[in-house]
Structure 1
Amino acid sequence: MNLKNSKLLAGALLLTCLGMTSLKGYTQNAQAAKTSLYELQQQFVDLGFGMFIHFNIPTYMEDDWADPDASPEIFNPKKLNTDQWAKAAKSANMTYGCLTTKHHSGFAIWNTRTTPYNVMNSQLKRDVVKEFANSFRKQGLKVMLYFSILDTHHKLRPGQITPAHIKMVKDQLTELLTNYGEVSALIIDGWDAPWSRISYDDIPFEEVYKLVKSIQPNCLVIDLNAAKYPAEVLFYTDIKSYEQGAGQHISKETNKLPALSCLPINQNWFWKTSFPTTPVKKAADLVNTNIVPMNKAFCNFILNVAPNRDGLIDDNVIAELKEIGNLYKKPQSFPKLPAADAPVISSNLAKKKPANASWSSDYALMDFATDDSFRSAWNSNPAIKAPWFEVELTKEMPFNMVVITEPTANTSAYTLEYFADNKWHLLAEGDQAQRIKVHRFDKVYGEKVRIKFKTFKESPSIAEFGVYCERR
């Protein structure tokens, strides 16, 4: 960390230690106000259509990933009008807005105590998050917030993460969830993505998830991690996300999870000088190929709109949003979500741990089932009639959940066991035929976990074998 950034982070931490305990603001009564996760997911799906607002220091650059050492002085929206944003969203029959409170370069556009690298040290000197939230609520719209874990200004990136970084993330989220009223969802980016390489162990997902729920129990946690995880189970998110520009597309025919699909109305997420004179995506296409069919597939569609350097939405975008409102009317009712397993939110104790198995195919050894990738797999050799696979936890550990992911649905009967006190103990006689098999049980302590295959269509194969000790 260079001297400049070390001083910034040290100062942020000092201010945080002095001030975080005195935060006053919005809180939900965890006992009286808590809604079930299923109900919250259904409510999110029922919102149907919303506005993503990418507005931050990259607005003043030609790159969406800003220079992390850019001066706060360049952030200077002289005509900032969040009322205009909210009215534009209302005109399109949107139901909520989501603002980029902090993007990958670490600039915070709220009045934060955690770092000097924030909007109050820009020429604007106004809390954009506060103005955004107030404007959208005035229009009867829900408020959501985007937050990037990756933070290149504060050196929160792979190989550099310290306890101080974890504290900063928690303190920043505490501010956002305490000082700006009800937040329906927190959309998190730059976390356990192939390009960010910050794992859920580096910044502990379960700790952050529990923190969010402790402040606002009804706030959904949506991590934009669809590039890595399968579509059948919620891994590290309350809502399954799909970024179309990154090649992530929901299956409108098979999806059974509460979902979010996002796309910018322009060519980029943040405003560019070419935007006012470049055609935007057409209303009819957005309505007929995105909003309407996705609403029928348990999917909420969020359209990104990028305010310009004055802090206003361009005229061509305003006009297209009005046309969307002419074509799209929110349905009176939405499909009811099927019941689903609770999200997996704990660290995988089996990740990168030694694995053993019956004879494998030479090109697909057992280590592929614990390599933290769902794109590789262990394959049993077809000659083996009673195949098995086990992971060594390297020491006795507590756990209360096992998740087995197959490349395709194959196994329909199996036995799960754990090794403790020098012998194997039965965990479950499994009969889940689906591709991803989730088993939750009372906590046990063991050194190894094993699956023994009984009934299968083809030679067994495991993409990932997960072992977890989730907080309950």
Structure 2
Amino acid sequence: MGSTRADIDWFIHDRFGLFIHWGIYSTAGRHEQVMSREKMTDEEYRRYFDHFDPDLFDPAAWAREAKNAGMKYLVVTAKHHDGFCLWDTAYTDFKAPNTRAGRDLLRPILDAFRAEGFKVGLYYSLLDWHHPEFTIDGRHPMRDNLEFREAAKDRDMRIYAQYIRDQTRELLTQYGKIDIMWFDFSYAHKDWGWSKGKGREDWQSEELVKLVRELQPHIILNDRLDLPGAGDVITPEQFQPQSWPEVNGKRVVWEACQTLNVSWGYDRDALHWKSSEMLVKMLIDTVSKGGNLLLNVGPNGRGEFEPKALDRLRAIGDWMRLHSRSIYGCTASEFTPPPDCRYTQNGDRLYLHLFSWPYKHVHLPGLAGKIEYAQLLNDGSEIKLRKPDPEDGVHTSVMKSEAGVQILELPILKPDVIVPVIELFLSEQ
């Protein structure tokens, strides 16, 4: 990644953030890209603007739930692909103060999360299906409307690129310190024949990055401007890498962004919800590969987190209350974990996460003689280190220990937590 003055230390320590996708699409209640999916005209989509009335909006409650889940930072959609703006921008009327909400909704969100000690970030869509100069391409809601395409053929992306910079300047000068700027997304590789995708030339990415760095030099910038080397963090989406991602042979700072179900925005009828167990394992897996997890919640049209989302956040929070030492400040370990386990490490503390609970013993390659003490993290109870004895019999056979392998003696019953963690205190070598 590029060499910047971005303050990245807090990011790789905190490891766990909340993504929020919220806008007038939440009123539709069937995916944040409903405008494109259903090929709506501006006039058809207008009904969500006219009826967006988040009367139960309580950002302090959002922040409390996120804090209790163990999250440490926020990224919220200031503007998504539909072009609707949560803040009181001077550059469009398509904004929250002109809905029934009647006010800027971004500022109270940022204030509430800062009050709980969160770092705050802004998501800004590079796409804008509402803007009159955004050219029609294969992702636009009007992609199949030949009459509309003909009428829009003289649109000028240079004007729209200036609009991006104008709004970015607003966000980075009127809303205090912003810790992350999360632009989304480029698709220059796409070619529909009658149109091509958009990338750095369309967004005028170099000028945009220069502006961001001038306004807030310590901000963390993601990697979606189609400008290699300009970002500070790469952001695989709905995908868990097999190992620590590398660019040009070097490990990079990375963040997995994941949903609770199949949608980023509120989707009333979504059935494919990830279980709490899967989400906890996803967090562990991410940190075990040196990454962060940015986990999304899509509030509904009235401004609340739905019950299924709250259930999962609270289950994660229950686990994090007991096991956050194995997440915060941790990263990948050079040791190889046993099957169906993950290691994270923070200095001389190595954390063994057991995705499956074995019977009586777990074998740790390469750790013989290197562990000073071991304990279950959920209750602080000792886990005994088994000293190999070649005379130990297993029925008529001899149980031989492998060279370099440390055996831990486990209780028969799995601790009553989603994923048990054993904290290993490594001895000085």
- Superposition TM-score, scaled by structure 2 size: 0.63
CA distance in 1 between partners of 2:274 and 2:328 (Å): 26
User: Which position in structure 2 is the counterpart of 1:200?
Assistant: 200
- Identity percentage of aligned residues: 28
Q: Which one-letter code corresponds to 1:184 in the other structure? A: D
Tell me which moved more, 191-200 or 86-95.
Answer: 191-200
Q: Deviation per CA, 1:164-198, whole angstroms, max 9, x where unpaired?
A: 21211111001111111111111111324546821
Helix, strand or coil: the match of 2:78?
A: strand
Q: 1:38 to 1:291 in 2, by over 3 A?
A: farther
CA distance in 2 between partners of 1:186 and 1:325 (Å): 26
CA distance in 2 between partners of 1:335 and 1:37 (Å): 22
Match of 1:84 among 48, 53, 61: 61
Q: Which one-letter code corresponds to 1:199 in the other structure? A: G
| Structure 2 residue runs without a partner (length 5+) | 138-152, 191-195, 334-429
Between Structure 1 and Structure 2, the one with more strand by share is 1
User: Which position in structure 1 is the counterpart of 2:128?
Assistant: 151
CA distance in 2 between partners of 1:223 and 1:59 (Å): 26
Q: Following TM superposition, by how much is the alpha carbon of 1:283 offset from its aligned partner in structure 2, in angstroms?
A: 1.9
CA distance in 1 between partners of 2:245 and 2:82 (Å): 37
Match of 2:302 among 284, 305, 310: 310
CA distance in 2 between partners of 1:171 and 1:39 (Å): 22
Q: Following TM superposition, by how much is the alpha carbon of 1:199 offset from its aligned partner in structure 2, in angstroms?
A: 1.6
Q: Which one-letter code corresponds to 2:235 in the other structure? A: S
Match of 2:181 among 186, 203, 210: 186
Q: 1:73 to 1:251 in 2, by over 3 A?
A: same
Q: Which one-letter code corresponds to 1:171 in the other structure? A: D
User: Which position in structure 2 is the counterpart of 1:326?
Assistant: 318
Superposition CA RMSD, Å? 2.4
Contact (CA 8 Å) 2:5, 2:218: kept in 1 or not? no
User: Which position in structure 2 is the counterpart of 1:55?
Assistant: 22
| Structure 1 residue runs without a partner (length 5+) | 1-35, 338-472
- Superposition TM-score, scaled by structure 1 size: 0.57
Q: 1:235 to 1:39 in 2, by over 3 A?
A: closer
Q: Which one-letter code corresponds to 1:156 in the other structure? A: F
Helix, strand or coil: the match of 1:316?
A: helix
CA distance in 1 between partners of 2:293 and 2:168 (Å): 24
CA distance in 2 between partners of 1:147 and 1:310 (Å): 22
1:393-432 counterparts in 2 under 5 A? Answer: none
CA distance in 2 between partners of 1:189 and 1:39 (Å): 19
Q: Which one-letter code corresponds to 1:167 in the other structure? A: Q
User: Which position in structure 2 is the counterpart of 1:218?
Assistant: 218
Q: Following TM superposition, by how much is the alpha carbon of 1:78 offset from its aligned partner in structure 2, in angstroms?
A: 1.6
Q: 1:308 to 1:193 in 2, by over 3 A?
A: farther
Contact (CA 8 Å) 1:266, 1:305: kept in 2 or not? no
**Paired positions, count:** 290
Q: Which one-letter code corresponds to 2:203 in the other structure? A: I
Contact (CA 8 Å) 2:120, 2:178: kept in 1 or not? yes
User: Which position in structure 2 is the counterpart of 1:170?
Assistant: 165
Contact (CA 8 Å) 2:5, 2:217: kept in 1 or not? no
Match of 1:300 among 275, 280, 292: 292
Match of 1:274 among 265, 269, 283: 269
CA distance in 2 between partners of 1:306 and 1:194 (Å): 29
CA distance in 1 between partners of 2:275 and 2:302 (Å): 24
Q: Following TM superposition, by how much is the alpha carbon of 1:332 offset from its aligned partner in structure 2, in angstroms?
A: 4.7
1:385-396 counterparts in 2 under 5 A? Answer: none
